[in-house]
Amino acid sequence: MDKFAKIYHYFNVLSLDVVLGALAGMYFFAHLLGVKLNQEVYLLLALTVWIIYTLDHLMDAMKAKGGPSSLRHAFHLKHRRVIQSFLILAFVFVVILLFWKKDLHILIKPGLILAFSLALVLGLVIMLKKRLAFLKEFLIATFYVLGIALAPFVYVDKLIPVETYYIAGFYFLIAYINLLVLSQMDRAIDQKDGYGSVSMWLNEKMLSRMILLLIGVALLYGLMLLVFLRSYYHIYTGILLMILFIHLESFLKSSSNELSKRRMMELSFVLPFLLVLFL
């Protein structure tokens, strides 16, 4: 494993690529709404996303049947005590940050509502995984977009244009497609370790058809946004179409190198940072 591959391996295992993608997503909505967010808001999101994803990986690793099969879950299980310590530190820092910085107080109420809703819904999915497993990816995509859009929506000081919701819907579709493709890649591991996912409900062929259908719907939806929305929104639609095409290319690629395809899809969510060129 070369130096870059090794660095990226730990970057991915620790969910730091997801954190970076979430930060890019929040910047996307802030730019879209013309909202300038301070650095504490980005730090708050980074820590919150890392806590949620790391806690999820840690719980999955500890409940895997016969020990986890994936490298990520095996890493979390092996280093669980160190990771648990960092989780506690990150949580304490988030609480201190929220109450110390007055500018962040406005996020406490909507943030708690979103957090409790996420905990309640995903708790039901975990308890009733055989009945509700097919909803897991849909719900995660929903809360992901709500989470990255929360601060820009809260801090905006004007009426939110309806076009913003159309673009948020496009973002959701792409996030959902991403999770479905990853679920398909992880099918064998999920079934072996007993994790609930859409792959428990659909066989590989049906899931592939569902993904292709959703990509087609998302592509049509994106083209409609280009046609019907004002030119101001074209740059945002264009960036999301780029992410969608990367997912389509990765999904259709016949290469057996799933690591490379996964890397491309996950890093594609950093593309919204291109908006720094359009300040």
Residue-wise pLDDT tens digits, 16-56: 999 999 999 999 999 999 999 999 999 999 999 999 999 98
Share of the chain above pLDDT 70, in %: 89
How far apart are alpha carbons 189 and 73 in whole angstroms?
10
DSSP state of 270: T
Stretch 161-189: mean pLDDT: 91
Q: What is the pLDDT of residue 95?
A: 94
φ and ψ at 14, to 5 degrees?
Answer: -90, 10
On the CB side of 229, how many CA atoms lie within 13 Å of its CA? 22
With 80 as the cut, is the pLDDT of residue 279 above it? no
Q: Are 99 and 167 in contact (CB under 8 A)?
A: no
Q: What is the pLDDT of residue 9?
A: 78
φ and ψ at 40, to 5 degrees?
Answer: -65, -35
Quick one: tokens of 106? 């406005």
Q: Are 136 and 30 in contact (CB under 8 A)?
A: no
Q: What is the pLDDT of residue 42?
A: 97
Please report, for residues 131, 135, 139, 233, the alpha-carbon distance to residue 151 in angstroms, rounded to integers and kept in the order given: 33, 26, 20, 20
How far apart are alpha carbons 173 and 74 in whole angstroms?
30
* Tens of pLDDT, residues 129-159: 666 667 788 989 999 999 999 999 999 998 9
DSSP state of 161: P
Q: Are 181 and 211 in contact (CB under 8 A)?
A: yes
- Which residue in 205, 146, 207 sits closest to 180, CA to CA? 207
- Which residue in 235, 239, 241 sits closest to 222, CA to CA? 241
Average pLDDT, the chain: 88
* Tens of pLDDT, residues 221-234: 999 999 999 999 99
SS3 66: coil
How far apart are alpha carbons 14 and 57 in whole angstroms?
9
Neighbours of 82 (CB within 10 A): 10
Q: What is the pLDDT of residue 67?
A: 67
How far apart are alpha carbons 146 and 10 in whole angstroms?
27
* Tens of pLDDT, residues 113-131: 999 998 888 778 767 666 6
How far apart are alpha carbons 225 and 211 in whole angstroms?
21
Domains of the chain plus CATH, in order, are 3-278 (1.10.600)
CB-based contacts of 33: which residues, under 8 Å, 6+ apart?
A: 152, 153, 156, 160, 164
Q: What is the pLDDT of residue 190?
A: 61
